[in-house]
Structure 1
């Protein structure tokens, strides 16, 4: 009598590969035994075996296999298939965004596709806001509601809803201002909007209702160039070479200034550490040999000074804390620097090849960094793991500095002198 052949038993769980998936040798031996008595068809294989086979395919083969049938397309679109590819690409992350918005993120397959567009410079430019006169705008995502973007225009700060296609729709109910002078820089976090203006004053609003919380006039004798806050403490810097530590609480509204710190030069930028223990200030670098200083927020004294190797006049235009110990700085000397505050040294530096001042820097909290330069609406994409830039982008069709920028995994927003431009990286080739 002939023995009845028995088909082997495979794992038939959910679509995702189990933690203990069979090795390639086990799969080969199993398939060899199965095909000895019958012909084998690809679609008869269990899902976990298909996932293992996908690991041996390149991007082109996976793309072609997606067009075979709906089942293969569904399996290939799962994140487990694209995780190995994402490790070898500069995928733009969306760190620091609310958890409730993470579910709205594109699939890992889409993120890898858009990462390829970022690297190759494939995008579509759209002018989404146009100014009537030349401005020095500042722009920032709302950290609480990632679908809101705040943009300064003259004496006001406008709020825009970011639509699904990346375009803006103005929310006129939350327009802030007018201030006593043009807006210099502002910060949006913890449901607050805090702004400085050229008249030397500081203003604060509730970001949800637009209600003004405080108005501190004549805090500085000259322009309030920069501002940041953490908890109930706020720091501002000015052209009058002073730094002010102020209280945001209502009981201190009559006399909000807690400490006045004397800088040796005009202050262009400030940034507070995520834990609120320290803050950094960047000066013009003309009268001081140290344009970058770290201050103890609680004691109101200098903690350490950095940047002795900066050229004279190579001031710090923008600062960004990644962690309480890691700080990014950029400025007039065309360098982007990464500082380790534990060693008080510059651990890495990247040079702008066209010797142009770097006006602003943003990071995704992982490996991607974007810098805006002083000419031609030019922005560069950097990878922390590489010494040279990955790609550069031009926007605005005229020579304008990139005063500020914001981005997510699919769109890059640039604040230029007469417009806000969007580069859309979700386009198909």
Structure 2
């Protein structure tokens, strides 16, 4: 009598896994086991859909080892569907949204590669490189171009420099699109819709076309003191200053640049402004020293205060940076060492995260999903946060000196930090 051979060990499924599997998957495994009773099969003889089923029962270490067996298994394991379950349970750094555009799918790393780099982010595995060095101390600001994701803009003194971001993350200066000089040092600028709009330390506002570098406007003496912050939506621009005023201006040529559409009294020095994505409102953050609310939402069309946020701000707990994630979702950070998420529909702080070292938070950036990065006032210190957790995920130091992180930018593999005398890059794509 013919004796049936036993099934190879790699087809067996642990009892716990079988109990947690869906009925369809469990039935597929039983059918596979019954089929293999009649013959001895090599692993590579199985159909690809059966191999994908088996991959579901492996952990990250086993998948990594299986990749080294042969080219076929390596090709199959590189598929995003294999890594999708793992990406849901760990903090994968997504490519930040570039305005209404994102990078094309073919330009992004595979999901397997993103999971590998996510492990480097959470464990702090990186390599630091100084890519730009300043001759003197600066208060730099940096931002990705929203139309050309591989283009970075960085302010240095009276100029705004344009850099092409290479495949290895390093910068290559594009001298044809160097903007300036301004009348005084650049404060903050914003890049979107093929425009670069910047504030100046003597109270002026400047605008350029980001592709050609052509000057579009120069609004002189808009404020009596430093123009600390600026933002715009379509043809309307909002600027804030140390003179405790907010100015709403039009960027249309037919309007006189010396006559703002509206002047709003903030009752304190204005450190930050942000326009809502739909252009209906904008937020302003002030120093919070005169007993007024440091965070205010304004109606852009009417030019009046819509609401004030927060009742528990300490004196001097000014707002240094603001970021809209949606028309009704706002992130704020500042001197009180807190990062807050506000729901403008309820006018309440829905979540808050505290900097453990009680350091001022200078800037915040988000990937639009779960990852957030904040730059602090000391030692080039940057923190990675997960919205689903209350404590920080990881801490990074850069610059090897006590410098604030004035601004930052990132993608899924690199983190760029603007420090007082340099621009540092942390490379998380390394193998270790």
Asked if these proteins are the same fold (TM beyond 0.5), I'd say yes
Checking the alignment, whether the CA contact within 8 Å between 2:7 and 2:33 is kept in structure 1 is no
Change (3 A) 1:6 1:65: closer
**In the TM superposition, what is the alpha-carbon distance from 1:5 to its structure 2 partner?**
15
Checking the alignment, whether the CA contact within 8 Å between 1:15 and 1:48 is kept in structure 2 is no
**1:372-392 CA distance string (max 9 Å, x none):** 000000000000010000000
- Could you state the TM-score of these two structures normalised by the residue count of structure 2? 0.93
Distance in 1 (CA, whole Å) between partners of 2:181 and 2:342 is 38
Distance in 1 (CA, whole Å) between partners of 2:279 and 2:118 is 34
Unaligned runs of 5+ in 2: none
**In the TM superposition, what is the alpha-carbon distance from 1:12 to its structure 2 partner?**
23
Q: Residue 100 of structure 1: SS of its match in structure 2?
A: coil
**1:283-339 CA distance string (max 9 Å, x none):** 000013310000000000000001221100010000000000000000000000000
After superposition, residues 178-327 of structure 1 pair within 5 angstroms as 178-327=181-330
Distance in 2 (CA, whole Å) between partners of 1:161 and 1:236 is 28
Q: Residue 211 of structure 2: SS of its match in structure 1?
A: coil
Q: Residue 96 of structure 1: SS of its match in structure 2?
A: coil
**In the TM superposition, what is the alpha-carbon distance from 1:405 to its structure 2 partner?**
0.1
**1:233-263 CA distance string (max 9 Å, x none):** 0000000000000001111144451000011
Change (3 A) 1:4 1:132: closer
**In the TM superposition, what is the alpha-carbon distance from 1:32 to its structure 2 partner?**
3.0
Change (3 A) 1:11 1:32: closer
**1:22-74 CA distance string (max 9 Å, x none):** 966623x3323322321111101000000000000000000110011000000
Corresponding residue for residue 82 of structure 1: 83
**In the TM superposition, what is the alpha-carbon distance from 1:98 to its structure 2 partner?**
3.1
Moved more, 251-260 or 133-142: 251-260
RMSD: 4.2
Distance in 1 (CA, whole Å) between partners of 2:13 and 2:165 is 39
Unaligned runs of 5+ in 1: none
Distance in 1 (CA, whole Å) between partners of 2:421 and 2:298 is 36
Change (3 A) 1:127 1:14: farther
**1:341-360 CA distance string (max 9 Å, x none):** 00001111000000000000
- Could you state the TM-score of these two structures normalised by the residue count of structure 1? 0.94
Change (3 A) 1:171 1:20: farther
Change (3 A) 1:91 1:100: closer
Change (3 A) 1:80 1:244: same
Aligned length in residues: 428
**1:90-145 CA distance string (max 9 Å, x none):** 00115657345442110000000000000000000000000000000000000000
Q: Residue 17 of structure 2: SS of its match in structure 1?
A: coil
Distance in 1 (CA, whole Å) between partners of 2:337 and 2:322 is 14
Checking the alignment, whether the CA contact within 8 Å between 1:402 and 1:415 is kept in structure 2 is yes
Q: Residue 210 of structure 1: SS of its match in structure 2?
A: coil
Change (3 A) 1:15 1:397: farther
Change (3 A) 1:141 1:19: farther
Checking the alignment, whether the CA contact within 8 Å between 2:276 and 2:282 is kept in structure 1 is yes
After superposition, residues 73-152 of structure 1 pair within 5 angstroms as 73-93=74-94, 96=99, 98-99=101-102, 101-152=104-155
Change (3 A) 1:213 1:121: same
Distance in 2 (CA, whole Å) between partners of 1:4 and 1:349 is 63
Change (3 A) 1:34 1:320: same
Change (3 A) 1:14 1:253: farther
Change (3 A) 1:15 1:134: farther
Residue 31 (structure 1) aligned with residue 32 (structure 2)? yes
